[in-house]
Structure 1
Amino acid sequence: MPIIGTFSAVKDGYAGTIRTLMINAEVLIMANDRKEGDSGPDFRITTGTNEIGVAWRRKRNGTEETYLRIKIDDPTLPHPIWGALVEGGGDGVARLLWRRDRKEEAQ
Protein backbone atom coordinates (compact mmCIF):
# COMPACT_ATOMS: atom_id res chain seq x y z
CA MET A 1 0.00 0.00 0.00
CA PRO A 2 1.37 3.41 -0.91
CA ILE A 3 1.99 5.92 1.88
CA ILE A 4 0.37 9.22 0.88
CA GLY A 5 0.77 11.05 4.18
CA THR A 6 2.67 11.26 7.43
CA PHE A 7 1.30 12.63 10.68
CA SER A 8 2.26 13.36 14.27
CA ALA A 9 -0.10 13.17 17.22
CA VAL A 10 -1.34 16.53 18.53
CA LYS A 11 -3.95 17.42 21.13
CA ASP A 12 -7.28 15.91 19.99
CA GLY A 13 -5.91 14.50 16.72
CA TYR A 14 -3.09 14.53 14.21
CA ALA A 15 -1.19 17.09 12.11
CA GLY A 16 0.71 16.26 8.95
CA THR A 17 0.96 16.34 5.20
CA ILE A 18 -0.86 14.51 2.41
CA ARG A 19 0.99 14.25 -0.91
CA THR A 20 -0.41 12.70 -4.08
CA LEU A 21 -0.22 13.70 -7.74
CA MET A 22 -3.19 16.06 -7.15
CA ILE A 23 -2.87 16.95 -3.45
CA ASN A 24 0.01 18.53 -1.55
CA ALA A 25 -1.48 19.91 1.64
CA GLU A 26 -0.82 20.47 5.32
CA VAL A 27 -3.70 18.73 7.07
CA LEU A 28 -5.28 18.52 10.52
CA ILE A 29 -7.29 15.49 11.63
CA MET A 30 -9.19 16.72 14.66
CA ALA A 31 -11.71 15.05 16.96
CA ASN A 32 -15.30 15.76 15.99
CA ASP A 33 -17.55 17.11 18.72
CA ARG A 34 -20.34 14.58 18.72
CA LYS A 35 -22.60 13.01 21.29
CA GLU A 36 -22.33 9.39 22.44
CA GLY A 37 -24.27 7.12 20.09
CA ASP A 38 -24.17 9.65 17.23
CA SER A 39 -23.33 7.92 13.95
CA GLY A 40 -21.28 10.85 12.60
CA PRO A 41 -17.54 10.66 11.99
CA ASP A 42 -15.10 10.58 14.90
CA PHE A 43 -12.76 13.09 13.22
CA ARG A 44 -12.93 15.95 10.70
CA ILE A 45 -10.08 16.50 8.24
CA THR A 46 -9.21 20.06 7.27
CA THR A 47 -6.63 22.02 5.32
CA GLY A 48 -6.71 25.66 6.27
CA THR A 49 -10.40 26.52 6.72
CA ASN A 50 -11.59 23.88 4.23
CA GLU A 51 -12.97 20.54 5.33
CA ILE A 52 -11.71 17.87 2.95
CA GLY A 53 -12.70 14.68 4.72
CA VAL A 54 -13.75 12.67 7.71
CA ALA A 55 -12.47 9.68 9.68
CA TRP A 56 -13.83 6.93 11.89
CA ARG A 57 -11.93 5.02 14.58
CA ARG A 58 -11.86 1.29 13.84
CA LYS A 59 -10.34 -1.83 15.43
CA ARG A 60 -8.21 -4.29 13.50
CA ASN A 61 -9.91 -7.68 13.15
CA GLY A 62 -9.39 -9.82 16.22
CA THR A 63 -7.21 -7.30 18.06
CA GLU A 64 -7.51 -4.23 20.24
CA GLU A 65 -5.32 -2.20 17.85
CA THR A 66 -7.06 0.84 16.43
CA TYR A 67 -6.63 2.87 13.27
CA LEU A 68 -8.54 5.65 11.52
CA ARG A 69 -10.59 4.83 8.42
CA ILE A 70 -10.28 8.00 6.35
CA LYS A 71 -12.31 9.44 3.48
CA ILE A 72 -10.91 12.45 1.61
CA ASP A 73 -12.76 14.17 -1.22
CA ASP A 74 -11.98 17.08 -3.51
CA PRO A 75 -13.64 18.35 -6.70
CA THR A 76 -10.42 17.62 -8.64
CA LEU A 77 -10.60 13.91 -7.79
CA PRO A 78 -12.72 11.49 -9.86
CA HIS A 79 -13.56 9.51 -6.68
CA PRO A 80 -13.03 10.04 -2.95
CA ILE A 81 -9.80 8.65 -1.53
CA TRP A 82 -10.25 6.01 1.16
CA GLY A 83 -7.34 5.18 3.40
CA ALA A 84 -6.17 4.10 6.82
CA LEU A 85 -4.11 6.16 9.26
CA VAL A 86 -2.00 3.70 11.23
CA GLU A 87 0.56 4.19 13.96
CA GLY A 88 3.51 1.90 14.27
CA GLY A 89 7.15 1.46 13.62
CA GLY A 90 8.10 2.88 17.02
CA ASP A 91 9.05 6.26 15.51
CA GLY A 92 5.98 8.22 16.66
CA VAL A 93 4.83 8.75 13.07
CA ALA A 94 1.36 7.79 11.85
CA ARG A 95 1.16 6.93 8.17
CA LEU A 96 -1.78 7.41 5.83
CA LEU A 97 -2.00 4.33 3.62
CA TRP A 98 -4.04 4.27 0.43
CA ARG A 99 -5.17 1.47 -1.85
CA ARG A 100 -7.55 1.52 -4.78
CA ASP A 101 -10.75 -0.45 -4.17
CA ARG A 102 -10.99 -3.61 -6.26
CA LYS A 103 -14.25 -2.34 -7.78
CA GLU A 104 -12.43 0.74 -9.12
CA GLU A 105 -9.58 -1.44 -10.50
CA ALA A 106 -12.06 -3.44 -12.60
CA GLN A 107 -13.44 -0.34 -14.35
Structure 2
Amino acid sequence: MSVIGHFTLTKDGGWAGTIRTLTINARVRLVPNDNRDQDNTPAYRLLLGHDRIGDAWEAQTTGEDSCSYLRVRFDDPILSEPISAALFPGKDGANAQLVWNRRRAG
Protein backbone atom coordinates (compact mmCIF):
# COMPACT_ATOMS: atom_id res chain seq x y z
CA MET A 1 0.00 0.00 0.00
CA SER A 2 1.20 3.50 -0.80
CA VAL A 3 0.09 6.78 0.72
CA ILE A 4 -0.58 9.08 -2.25
CA GLY A 5 -2.37 11.91 -0.45
CA HIS A 6 -2.79 13.83 2.77
CA PHE A 7 -6.03 15.64 3.61
CA THR A 8 -7.55 17.81 6.32
CA LEU A 9 -11.22 18.22 7.19
CA THR A 10 -12.82 21.45 5.94
CA LYS A 11 -15.53 23.57 7.57
CA ASP A 12 -18.16 22.40 5.04
CA GLY A 13 -17.62 18.73 5.97
CA GLY A 14 -15.40 17.98 2.99
CA TRP A 15 -11.67 17.38 2.73
CA ALA A 16 -8.81 19.40 1.20
CA GLY A 17 -5.37 18.10 0.44
CA THR A 18 -2.75 17.00 -2.03
CA ILE A 19 -2.52 13.95 -4.27
CA ARG A 20 0.96 12.93 -5.39
CA THR A 21 1.62 10.07 -7.81
CA LEU A 22 4.22 9.61 -10.56
CA THR A 23 2.09 11.76 -12.87
CA ILE A 24 -0.05 13.88 -10.51
CA ASN A 25 0.98 16.54 -8.00
CA ALA A 26 -2.17 18.52 -7.30
CA ARG A 27 -4.12 20.31 -4.55
CA VAL A 28 -7.65 18.94 -4.62
CA ARG A 29 -10.88 19.08 -2.63
CA LEU A 30 -13.48 16.47 -1.78
CA VAL A 31 -16.73 18.44 -1.69
CA PRO A 32 -19.94 16.96 -0.24
CA ASN A 33 -22.41 16.07 -2.98
CA ASP A 34 -25.72 17.76 -2.17
CA ASN A 35 -27.51 16.03 -5.06
CA ARG A 36 -27.78 12.44 -3.77
CA ASP A 37 -31.06 11.27 -5.25
CA GLN A 38 -30.02 7.61 -5.70
CA ASP A 39 -28.36 5.06 -3.39
CA ASN A 40 -25.26 4.66 -5.57
CA THR A 41 -24.69 8.41 -5.98
CA PRO A 42 -21.23 9.51 -4.77
CA ALA A 43 -21.10 11.18 -1.35
CA TYR A 44 -18.34 13.57 -2.53
CA ARG A 45 -17.05 15.12 -5.73
CA LEU A 46 -13.27 15.31 -6.19
CA LEU A 47 -12.37 18.72 -7.60
CA LEU A 48 -9.16 20.12 -9.05
CA GLY A 49 -9.91 23.84 -9.11
CA HIS A 50 -13.44 23.91 -10.51
CA ASP A 51 -13.01 20.73 -12.57
CA ARG A 52 -14.44 17.43 -11.36
CA ILE A 53 -11.80 14.72 -11.70
CA GLY A 54 -13.44 12.00 -9.62
CA ASP A 55 -15.88 10.90 -6.96
CA ALA A 56 -15.94 9.28 -3.52
CA TRP A 57 -18.39 6.92 -1.85
CA GLU A 58 -18.83 6.19 1.85
CA ALA A 59 -17.70 2.70 2.83
CA GLN A 60 -17.04 0.57 5.90
CA THR A 61 -14.23 -1.90 6.51
CA THR A 62 -15.15 -5.41 7.59
CA GLY A 63 -13.95 -7.26 10.62
CA GLU A 64 -13.87 -6.75 14.34
CA ASP A 65 -12.39 -3.24 14.28
CA SER A 66 -14.63 -1.84 11.53
CA CYS A 67 -14.05 1.76 10.48
CA SER A 68 -15.55 4.23 8.00
CA TYR A 69 -13.59 5.45 4.99
CA LEU A 70 -14.15 6.89 1.51
CA ARG A 71 -13.68 4.88 -1.69
CA VAL A 72 -12.16 7.42 -4.07
CA ARG A 73 -11.97 7.02 -7.84
CA PHE A 74 -10.33 9.63 -10.05
CA ASP A 75 -8.90 10.07 -13.53
CA ASP A 76 -5.27 10.42 -14.51
CA PRO A 77 -5.03 11.47 -18.19
CA ILE A 78 -1.97 9.26 -18.73
CA LEU A 79 -3.53 6.03 -17.45
CA SER A 80 -6.10 4.00 -19.35
CA GLU A 81 -8.12 3.25 -16.19
CA PRO A 82 -9.17 5.49 -13.29
CA ILE A 83 -7.20 5.28 -10.04
CA SER A 84 -9.06 3.63 -7.15
CA ALA A 85 -7.92 4.57 -3.65
CA ALA A 86 -9.23 4.82 -0.09
CA LEU A 87 -9.28 7.86 2.19
CA PHE A 88 -8.83 6.78 5.81
CA PRO A 89 -9.42 9.39 8.53
CA GLY A 90 -6.87 9.46 11.35
CA LYS A 91 -7.73 8.93 14.98
CA ASP A 92 -8.24 12.68 15.45
CA GLY A 93 -10.87 12.76 12.67
CA ALA A 94 -9.42 16.00 11.29
CA ASN A 95 -6.70 14.47 9.09
CA ALA A 96 -6.76 11.62 6.59
CA GLN A 97 -4.49 9.69 4.25
CA LEU A 98 -5.31 8.63 0.71
CA VAL A 99 -4.01 5.10 0.18
CA TRP A 100 -3.54 3.27 -3.11
CA ASN A 101 -2.89 -0.43 -3.58
CA ARG A 102 -1.64 -1.86 -6.89
CA ARG A 103 -4.04 -4.28 -8.56
CA ARG A 104 -2.72 -7.80 -8.71
CA ALA A 105 -2.73 -9.49 -12.11
CA GLY A 106 -4.46 -12.80 -12.39
**AA partner of residue 3 (structure 1):** V
- Percent identical: 42
TM-score, normalised to structure 2, is 0.86
Partner of 1:49: 50
Alpha-carbon separation, structure 2, partners of 1:90 and 1:33: 25
Partner of 1:17: 18
Alpha-carbon separation, structure 2, partners of 1:27 and 1:95: 13
Q: CA RMSD in A?
A: 1.9
| Residues 6-57 of structure 1 deviation map (CA, whole Å, 9 limit, x = unaligned) | 0000022100000111000000001111245442111100011111100000
| Residues 73-96 of structure 1 deviation map (CA, whole Å, 9 limit, x = unaligned) | 132222211000001254842000
Partner of 1:86: 88
**AA partner of residue 19 (structure 1):** R
Number of residue-to-residue matches in the alignment? 104
Partner of 1:39: 40
Q: Could you list the runs of 5+ residues in structure 1 that have no partner in the other structure?
A: none
**AA partner of residue 65 (structure 1):** C
Between Structure 1 and Structure 2, the one with more helix by share is 1
Q: Could you list the runs of 5+ residues in structure 2 that have no partner in the other structure?
A: none
